[in-house]
Chain A
Amino acid sequence: EVHLVQSGAEVRKPGESLKISCEASGYSFISYWIAWVRQMPGKGLEWMGIIFPGDSDTRYSPSFQGQVTISADKSISTAYLQWNSLQSSDTAIYYCASSYCHAPGCHNYFESWGQGTLVTVSS
């Protein structure tokens, strides 16, 4: 069974750094893309970026380019989302999602999602 388990809720002050994680199991981690999606309070889903753990090919949404860093560690099947300097506007739930899919043909969509990590940035 496929599982994506994200790290727990975090509270930080503006200007602080943060790295959250998403540990995958139940499928070949290096063979499918992992995306990060932001959901601000009461708002919709926003694609932030995506990484292919097999070769670390990473793409970012123009809205998030330069604001965050996405990485992955193949040895422990874990993807990361990192900020160097948080702002209050980064307060949101962050989801990871894998492009692994049970059925053929849906490997460019997201059937498996993590439970979300709530990040609160407040002074």
Chain B
Amino acid sequence: EIVLTQSPGTLSLSPGERATLSCRASQSISGYLAWYQQKPGQSPRLLVYDASTRATGIPARFSGSGSGTDFTLTINSLEPDDFGIYYCQQRTNWPALTFGGGTKVEIK
């Protein structure tokens, strides 16, 4: 089973700052990675898939990069609505898949 490790566990930032979130896979997953955002009491929302493609309706301040085992989600100029927990998900062996443990982005 492919394990996804996300870091840091928590990111404390102010609105307007840049957030850089990491997701590392235990083995190469090519570019088959997605990022989701979850806010308290809500279902997850797909932000980015195939490592760097923004999902429908996702603002351009969200960008994904990486391939192989190391991936990054960057949120440029954080807005108050961006605070929450972010998860990565791989689908290399679709339909089997795994999620990372999450990174919490909180207001500093």
Contact = CB atoms under 8 A, between A and B. Distances in A.
Interface size range of chain A in the complex: 20 to 34
Interface size range of chain B in the complex: 20 to 34
13 contacts: A44-B85, A45-B89, A50-B96, A95-B43, A97-B44, A103-B55, A106-B49, A106-B50, A108-B49, A108-B91, A108-B94, A109-B91, A110-B89
Contacts of A115: 43
Contacts of B53: 103, 105-106
Given A45-B44, A114-B43, A106 B102 contact: no
Interface of A: 33, 35, 37, 44-47, 50, 52, 57, 59, 61-62, 95, 97, 101-103, 105-106, 108-111, 113-116
Contacts of B55: 101, 103, 106, 111
Contacts of B98: 47, 61
